[in-house]
Amino acid sequence: MTRDLFNSLFVVFITLIGVSGFGNPVPVSFIEHPYIPYDCAYLEGNITWKHYPTSEAPFYGLQVNATVDNESTHQVQFLVSEFTFNLFDEGDVYAGRTCKMAAIHDMIQNGTIIFLE
């Protein structure tokens, strides 16, 4: 019985090792234009509108009647991933940090990021 248990645990362990990959989960070649988050704000409020992708505006978006950093209430619109978009319906409460994103390549070109060697 002990040997059967050991064999079963060994198979599970080897399977987990094989599934985990031990390598970089995202190959560097896939990261062509990385972005840096900045100017973040905490938003919390009810979703009042959802933007579905169209040919003119091929992105997912939400409009939220939200308090910004727990201070004042504003109607805010922002882009979200398809996954986040599908998690929420109009009327649901959205709560989370949202940031502007700066393109690293643009920041290097305009001198915001400077290499010191």
Tokens at residue 106, please? 């643009």
- pLDDT band of residue 26 (cuts 50, 70, 90) is very low
Q: Is residue 8 assigned to a domain?
A: no
Query: Which has more confidence, 108 or 4?
Result: 108
Q: Is residue 37 assigned to a domain?
A: yes
State which residues form the domain around 64.
Answer: 33-109
Residue 34 is predicted with a pLDDT of: 64
Cβ neighbours for 69, distance < 8 A, ≥ 6 positions apart = 41, 42
Residue 31 is predicted with a pLDDT of: 47
Q: Is residue 13 assigned to a domain?
A: no
pLDDT tens per residue across span 40-74:
888 899 999 999 999 998 999 999 999 988 888 88
Q: Is residue 14 assigned to a domain?
A: no
Q: What is d(CA 8, CA 12) in angstroms, rounded to the nearest whole number?
A: 6
Q: Is residue 72 assigned to a domain?
A: yes
Query: Which has more confidence, 82 or 36?
Result: 82
Query: Which has more confidence, 27 or 92?
Result: 92
Q: What is d(CA 74, CA 67) in angstroms, rounded to the nearest whole number?
A: 6
Residue 90 is predicted with a pLDDT of: 96
Q: How many domains does the chain have?
A: 1
Residue 33 is predicted with a pLDDT of: 54
Q: Is residue 23 assigned to a domain?
A: no
